C-alpha cells in the first residue's frame, strides 16, 4: 500500500538513514536536557530552600552556554563533528554522574553544584552547533529545513516525556539516583552517533580560534537580519 505524498513531505529527512541516527541522538539529548534541568533545580531547592538560588542555578547554566557559545560554531568547522558530539554527550554523562554521587554522599554544596551546572551549560552550547552542522552534512541543503523540523519535533516530545518521567523518578528514587540515571541516558545518546559515516571535511583554519570567533560576533552584530534573529531568540528564551 502506497503511503500518501504528505507523509514523505513531513518525514522526508527521516528517510535518510544517516539522519535517523542523528535524530535518535537528539531524542536522548533533549531528554537529558529536560531531566537535568528539572532534577538540578529540585536539588538546589532541597539544598537551599530558596527560590532565588533555583533561578540562579538556571542562570549559571546559561552563563556557561554564553561562555562557550561564541566558540562552538568555529570549532564545528575545525574538528570532527561526530567525535565532538560523542565527547560532549559522554562528558555530560560524567557531569551528572559526579553530581549524583556527590548528592548520595551528602557533599553537594551550592558552589559545587554551580561549577557542574556551568560546565553543563558549556556542553549544551557545544552540542547545538555541532549537531546542526552534522545534520547539514548528512541531509544536504534540500532537506535541511525538513530535518530541523523533525529534530524540533523530537525535542518537544522529549520535553513532554522528560517532565513526567523526571517527576516520577525524583519522587521514587530521589535526586541522587535520578542524576545517575540521567548520566546513563546521556551516554546512551552518544551510541547512535557512532554509526554516522557521512560528513563534510573540516576546513583548514587560516585564522586563530579567537579571531574567527570575534569576526563572527562582529558580523552578526553588523548584519540587520542576524541581529533581529538573535533578539528574537533572546525574547523566546526569556
Sequential DSSP letters for 139-150: H-TTTHHHHHHH
pLDDT digits (tens, 9 = 90+) for 144-169: 888 888 888 888 888 888 889 999 99
The domain locations on the chain are: 15-201, 206-238
Q: How many CB atoms lie within 10 A of CB 225?
A: 8
CATH topology of domain 15-201: Growth Hormone; Chain: A; (1.20.1250)
pLDDT digits (tens, 9 = 90+) for 30-56: 999 999 999 999 999 999 999 999 999
Q: What is the pTM of this model?
A: 0.84
CA 154, CA 159: separation in Å to the nearest integer?
9
Residues of the chain with pLDDT under 50: 1, 4
CA 67, CA 74: separation in Å to the nearest integer?
13
CA 193, CA 190: separation in Å to the nearest integer?
5
Amino acid at each position: 500500500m502506497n503511503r500518501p505524498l504528505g507523509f514523505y513531505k513531513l518525514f522526508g529527512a527521516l528517510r535518510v538513514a544517516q539522519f535517523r541516527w542523528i535524530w535518535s541522538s537528539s531524542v536522548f539529548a533533549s531528554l537529558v536536557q529536560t531531566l537535568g534541568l528539572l532534577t538540578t533545580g529540585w536539588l538546589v531547592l532541597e539544598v537551599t530552600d530558596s527560590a532565588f538560588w533555583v533561578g540562579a542555578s538556571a542562570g549559571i547554566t546559561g552563563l556557561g552556554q554564553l561562555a562557550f557559545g561564541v566558540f562552538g560554531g568555529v570549532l564545528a568547522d575545525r574538528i570532527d563533528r561526530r567525535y565532538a558530539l560523542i565527547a560532549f554527550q559522554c562528558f555530560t554523562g560524567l557531569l551528572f554522574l559526579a553530581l549524583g554521587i556527590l548528592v548520595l554522599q551528602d557533599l553537594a554544596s551550592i558552589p559545587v553544584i554551580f561549577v557542574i551546572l556551568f560546565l553543563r551549560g558549556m556542553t549544551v552550547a557545544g552540542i547545538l552547533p555541532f549537531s546542526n552542522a552534522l545534520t547539514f552534512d548528512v541531509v544536504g541543503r534540500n532537506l535541511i529545513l525538513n530535518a530541523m523540523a523533525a529534530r524540533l519535533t523530537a525535542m518537544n516530545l522529549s520535553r513532554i516525556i522528560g517532565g513526567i518521567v523526571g517527576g516520577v523518578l525524583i519522587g521514587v528514587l530521589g535526586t541522587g539516583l535520578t542524576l545517575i540515571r540521567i548520566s546513563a541516558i546521556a551516554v546512551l545518546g552518544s551510541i547512535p552517533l557512532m554509526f554516522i559515516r557521512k560528513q563534510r571535511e573540516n576546513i583548514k583554519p587560516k585564522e586563530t580560534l579567537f579571531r574567527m570567533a570575534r569576526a563572527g560576533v562582529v558580523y552578526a552584530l553588523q548584519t540587520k537580519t542576524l541581529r533581529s534573529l538573535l533578539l528574537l531568540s533572546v525574547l523566546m528564551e526569556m
